[in-house]
Amino acid sequence: MTEASLREAATRYLGDRDASRARLRRVLVRRVDAAVEAHGQDREELLGWVEALLDDFVRLGYLDDARFAAMQTRALRARGASRRGIESKLRERGVAPELVQAELAERPDGDELRAAVRHLRKRRHGPFRREDREGDRAKELASLGRAGFGYDVASKAWALSLEEAEALLLE
């Protein structure tokens, strides 16, 4: 493995998807470990190349954890993810806890109810179900709970009328 091949692998990876610094580091370290095992190269030297490459990519703007966190938060909110779900996903993807908290602090509280309504619409639960089946309430609230929504938000979203839910989504 050479520095050029490592840079090419990182560039190709970022060409396909945006990533956090920690995520790209994990990908590159896996490649380094494979090269060490296959060719007996010095792991410490290769890890030094990885860190230098990551610093260079941050300086060039190819890697930006704050931008990554903002984009992921927006995408997850659009899919109806809860605040807890977003926090979990961002941490899993290697975003620093302080960046996660900063990104989530920028979101208004009404976003959580809107996200819960999106979740219900996606699953055709609550006001979006086709037929009135009161017996499904517990199952549908449990679905919201598993998605990371608190009981107060879940029950409020579930109790909305179809018109109220659609109006909330249009805001």
- Taken as a whole, the chain contains a residue count of 171
- Both structure tokens of 10: 């990182």
Q: Tokens at residue 66, please?
A: 């704050």
SS3 91: helix
- Grouping H, G, I as helix, E, B as strand and the rest as coil, residue 94 is coil
Sequence-ordered list of residues with C-beta below 8 angstroms from that of 2, at least 6 positions apart, any chain: none
C-beta neighbour count of 118 within 10 angstroms: 19
Neighbours of 102 (CB within 10 A): 13
| Residue spans of the chain under pLDDT 70 | 107-110, 132-134
Give pLDDT tens digits for 73-110.
989 988 888 989 999 999 999 999 999 998 888 766 66
The percentage of residues in the chain with a pLDDT greater than 90, rounded to a whole number, is 68
Domain boundaries, the chain: 3-60, 65-105, 110-170
